[in-house]
Amino acid sequence: MKRWIDVIILIVVMVLILPSLIVAIFSKRDSTVPPPIFQPGEEEESIKVKESDGAAYYDEPTITLYNHYSKALEPMPLEEYVEGVLAAEMPASFEMEALKAQAVAARTLAVRKMKASGGSGCTNHKGADVCSQYSHCQAWIPKSQQEKNWGNKYEENAQRIHRAVGETRGYIMTYNDKPIEVFFYSTSNGKTEDSAEVFSAALPYYTIVDSPGEESAPRFRETFSFTNKKFAEIFKGKSPKSGLSAGNLKESIKILNRTESGRVGTLMVGDIKIKATDFRVMYGLNSTDFSFRYEGDKIYIDTVGYGHGVGMSQTGANAMALAGKGFTEILKHYYRGVKLQIFL
Ligand SMILES: [Zn+2]
């Protein structure tokens, strides 16, 4: 009889206790290792991310912003900061999946700069992780400015921004387990640019990829015009010994080479060899994909695209979203070989 009791006890242990023990062990492991949403080499498919997916692992940090509106340092929860960036960096009318991709890009840029995670902070404002200046860290606008920008669309737009940030809550892009250096811009010329052509660093996740659907952007093609005199003056202001004059522009300007993406690499202006990225800044051009036309006493510069071309094109992201792609696919397309994971 006692033997039967032993067998029953053994069965109870095997059937009831063992499985729950195994579940307990594995769920404990699950709670310490957050799941990346995608990894390099995974299928390019749309992966739905629920707000709750990373919530258990995400301990939201505080970021210190230098706010150019209040001219003060303002500590705030990271996600609140990302909402202010998204409101400033992308039209709220863009597709939800494009907004979500932009939210991840903005969050990644912020985390990489944060001193608490080993970043340099904002180098213009002591004590700040980031500042609200678009040309230095990334654009950020307070609620008061959002109300001004959006008028009677404020409630609707604020909700869209809140949703895009909430549905990507805590997620950043990493490479070798570090937040990537994020670049994005408005509109490409149909292809993205290699980071080495624009910035000094050749980053492995910035290779040239196609970026269709850019033609819809209002500034996709724009022409800049200068009188020959003005053009020569601007150049001589930087390089007095170029030999350039209002009378010799046509024979003095020569594009030396274009990059693989079709943008100008370097050009000769008079006797001066200049990088297209510097030339773009000098004349306030939309992009480095440009060509020249000469008519009478004027020079015309036709540009394609708007921005440096490295990383995600916002117009391209919106086009992908309109074509039914999710934000994970958008990010994987523009940032090659990165991982999307919760910031720990
Ligand atoms: Zn800054």
Q: Does residue 197 share a domain with residue 331?
A: yes
Q: Does residue 204 share a domain with residue 151?
A: yes
Residue 15 domain-assigned (yes or no): no
Q: What are phi and psi of 329, to 5 degrees?
A: -65, -40
Q: What pLDDT sits at residue 44?
A: 44
Q: Could you read off the pLDDT of 266-276 as tens digits, one per residue?
A: 999 999 999 99
b/e map 245-274, b = 16+ CB within 10 Å: eeeebeebbeeeebbebbbbbbbebbebeb
Q: Does residue 188 share a domain with residue 114?
A: yes
Q: Does residue 138 share a domain with residue 282?
A: no
What is the residue-level pLDDT of the chain in tens, covering all 344 positions? 566 667 666 665 566 555 554 444 444 334 455 556 665 555 444 455 554 556 667 889 999 999 999 999 999 999 999 999 999 999 999 999 999 999 999 999 999 999 998 999 999 999 999 999 999 999 999 999 999 999 999 999 999 999 999 999 999 999 998 999 999 999 999 999 999 999 878 899 999 999 999 998 999 999 999 999 999 999 999 999 999 999 999 999 999 999 999 999 999 999 999 999 999 999 999 999 999 999 999 999 999 999 999 999 999 999 999 999 999 999 999 999 999 998 88
Question: What's the number of domains the chain is made of?
Answer: 2
Residue 142 domain-assigned (yes or no): yes
Q: Does residue 249 share a domain with residue 323?
A: no
Distance 140 CA to ligand 1 centre (A): 11
Residue 43 domain-assigned (yes or no): no
Residue 35 domain-assigned (yes or no): no
Q: Roughly how many angstroms between the first and final C-alpha of the chain, as a whole number?
A: 57
Tokens for 158, please give them: 């604020």
Residue 98 domain-assigned (yes or no): yes
Q: Could you read off the pLDDT of 182-202 as tens digits, one per residue?
A: 999 999 999 999 999 998 788
Distance 337 CA to ligand 1 centre (A): 28
Return mean pLDDT, the chain: 89
Distance 139 CA to ligand 1 centre (A): 9
Q: What pLDDT sits at residue 26?
A: 42
Residue 206 domain-assigned (yes or no): yes
Q: Does residue 283 share a domain with residue 189?
A: no
Distance 121 CA to ligand 1 centre (A): 8
Residue 108 domain-assigned (yes or no): yes
Residue 55 domain-assigned (yes or no): no
| Consecutive H or E run containing 44 | none
Q: What pLDDT sits at residue 24?
A: 45
Q: Does residue 280 share a domain with residue 241?
A: yes
Distance 206 CA to ligand 1 centre (A): 23
pTM across the whole model: 0.84
Give the single-character DSSP code of 14: I
Measure CA 68 to chain center: 21
Q: Does residue 268 share a domain with residue 326?
A: no
Q: Does residue 204 share a domain with residue 241?
A: no
Distance 118 CA to ligand 1 centre (A): 16
Distance 240 CA to ligand 1 centre (A): 33
Distance 154 CA to ligand 1 centre (A): 27
Q: Does residue 274 share a domain with residue 225?
A: yes
Task: Give residues with Cβ within 8 angstroms of 60, minimum separation 6.
Answer: 77, 78, 79, 170
Q: What pLDDT sits at residue 79?
A: 97
Distance 174 CA to ligand 1 centre (A): 21
Distance 66 CA to ligand 1 centre (A): 8
Distance 112 CA to ligand 1 centre (A): 13
Helix ranges, 33-169 (H)? 78-89, 96-113, 143-150, 154-166
Q: What pLDDT sits at residue 200?
A: 76
Q: Which amino acid is at 140?
A: W
Q: What pLDDT sits at residue 57?
A: 78
* Domain boundaries, position 182: 62-210+308-342
| Consecutive H or E run containing 137 | none
Q: Does residue 167 share a domain with residue 128?
A: yes
Helix (H, G, I), strand (E, B) or coil at 27: helix
Q: Does residue 165 share a domain with residue 84?
A: yes
Distance 309 CA to ligand 1 centre (A): 21
Q: What pLDDT sits at residue 6?
A: 72
Q: Could you read off the pLDDT of 1-54 as tens digits, one per residue?
A: 566 667 666 665 566 555 554 444 444 334 455 556 665 555 444 455 554 556
**Of 101, 49, 125, nearest in space to 109 by CA:** 101
